[in-house]
Amino acid sequence: MATITEERILEALRRVRDPEKGRDLVSLGMIGGLTIKDGNVGFSIEVAAERGAAAEPLRKAAEQAVFALDGVTSVTAVLTAHSAGGGAGAGRAPAANAPAGDAAASAAAPKRSGADRIGSIVAVASGKGGVGKSTTAANLALALMAEGARTGLLDADIYGPSMPRMMGVRGKPTTADGKVLDPMNGHGVKLMSMGFLVDEETPMIWRGPMVMSALQQLLQDVDWGPLDVLVVDMPPGTGDAQLTLAQTAKLAGAVIVSTPQDIALLDARKGLNMFRKVDVPVLGIVENMSYFQCPHCGERSDIFSHGGARREAERLGVPFLGEIPLDIAIRETSDGGRPIVAAEPDGPHAAAYREIAMQVLDRLDAGAEGPKPAPKIVIR
Ligand code: ADP
């Protein structure tokens, strides 16, 4: 099978013409963020904000042109629009100050990137909202730090950023050069969230193309490094935004959060499949709200279908990372701005999260070793 190279992809995209401008996408400088992972290709197409959905046929044509290449197994192209001059108001992305047109002057140009000094990016995802994804992401980040890893936490849940509140951090991030933002600090973890950049009261209405551009900037235009691990609290669900983020963020792995009931429903499996599709290793499943811990007597009662995640993980051949009980203390501490791992570092819940963190670190180490070399064939 032919190797997929940047040149071959750009060559294919040179054959796609923007009908509005009469020239091809590459010479117009519209292609950016090109990523290639095995046969999976991702890139963005920069269009003027007012074109919006009208550019959808162009996006499809670009995807098809690349998909037709020998060796390509999946293509995800997203439309991005810079909001030069403010544009959509509520949907203003951070530091979006490059004039439209020169963004991604060339996909091959070396990019300044805050993400370059991050050892591993780990996504925390769920098939649907409300299962405790953000709570798990916050506590996992704190537990990784407790295990000695330099840790950052990116709240990519731009529709409902909860990390500022959950990590008890207020204020606006500063920037030294007007381009790269300094992350905030939450209990020792470097933190960035759209919640710091837009007014909490402002309803955030994201037009499709802006989502990716905002997420990419939260990743790239923040002075993250050096970090061992960046935990990304993914937007809930398994749609296009999640898929592209999984592809462009060069994820080292993903942790799926599920409640005992949801695993039986298809939601968590959708999450699994999404990461498999883009070749991101699933580090494991966490069963959240696994059993009920009585706040008065400490007695444990199992919840209907408790253990479902462990069984399902076994069935799907995915590691089971652990179970976190439904405990009012977990809710109160994270809703109060000091997640349980920071609030009660010596308690049993912090120990459970640290156990999950250790497994995540072990799996990342194992992944970093890469595939074993093929055995030598000796012909006698
Ligand atoms: P998601 O990110 O999946 O939408 P959140 O992490 O915001 O979910 O959690 C939803 C609500 O459930 C929050 O109020 C949170 O404090 C609470 N919660 C999450 N996990 C637990 C748990 N294990 N025990 C008790 N409450 C929890």
Q: Which residues of 150-179 are buried (b: 16+ CB within 10 A; e: fewer)?
A: bbbbbbbbbeebbbbbbbbbeeebeeeeee
Pairwise CA distance, residues 174 & 251, whole Å: 27
Query: How many A from CA of 132 to the centre of ligand 1?
Result: 4
Q: Which residues pair with 231 in a beta bridge?
A: 122, 153
The model's confidence at residue 333, banded by pLDDT at 50, 70 and 90, is: very high
Residues 6+ apart with CB under 8 A from 52: 79, 81, 207, 209
Query: How many A from CA of 242 to the centre of ligand 1?
Result: 20
Q: Which numbered atom of ligand 1 lies nearest the CA of 257?
A: 3
Query: How many A from CA of 135 to the centre of ligand 1?
Result: 5
- Are the CB atoms for 291 and 323 separated by under 8 Å? yes
Contacts 24+ apart (CB under 8 A), 57-64: 58/16, 58/18, 58/19, 58/25, 61/16, 62/13, 62/16, 62/25
The protein residue whose alpha carbon is closest to atom 22 in ligand 1 is: 326
Pairwise CA distance, residues 266 & 52, whole Å: 32
pLDDT tens per residue across span 207-266:
666 677 778 888 888 999 899 999 999 987 777 777 777 877 889 999 999 888 766 545
Pairwise CA distance, residues 144 & 357, whole Å: 5
Query: Which tokens sit at 105?
Result: 């002057």
Superfamily of domain 118-366: P-loop containing nucleotide triphosphate hydrolases (3.40.50.300)
The protein residue whose alpha carbon is closest to atom 4 in ligand 1 is: 130
Query: Which tokens sit at 14?
Result: 């040179």
Pairwise CA distance, residues 147 & 142, whole Å: 9
Is 48 a residue whose pLDDT tops 90? no
Where does 130-192 have alpha helices with state H? 133-146, 163-166
Mean pLDDT, rounded, for 126-143: 92
Specify the pLDDT at position 342: 97
The model's confidence at residue 82, banded by pLDDT at 50, 70 and 90, is: low
> Given ligand 1 and candidates 139, 263, 291, 331, which is best to mutate, with the most ligand atoms within 8 Å of its CB?
331
Neighbours of 259 (CB within 10 A): 25
Mean pLDDT, rounded, for 297-309: 74
Alpha carbon 164 to its chain's center: 17
- What fold characterizes domain 6-108? GMP Synthetase; Chain A, domain 3 (3.30.300)
Query: How many A from CA of 127 to the centre of ligand 1?
Result: 14
Pairwise CA distance, residues 132 & 73, whole Å: 33
Specify the pLDDT at position 88: 31
| Domain extents in the chain | 6-108, 118-366
The protein residue whose alpha carbon is closest to atom 9 in ligand 1 is: 132
The protein residue whose alpha carbon is closest to atom 8 in ligand 1 is: 132
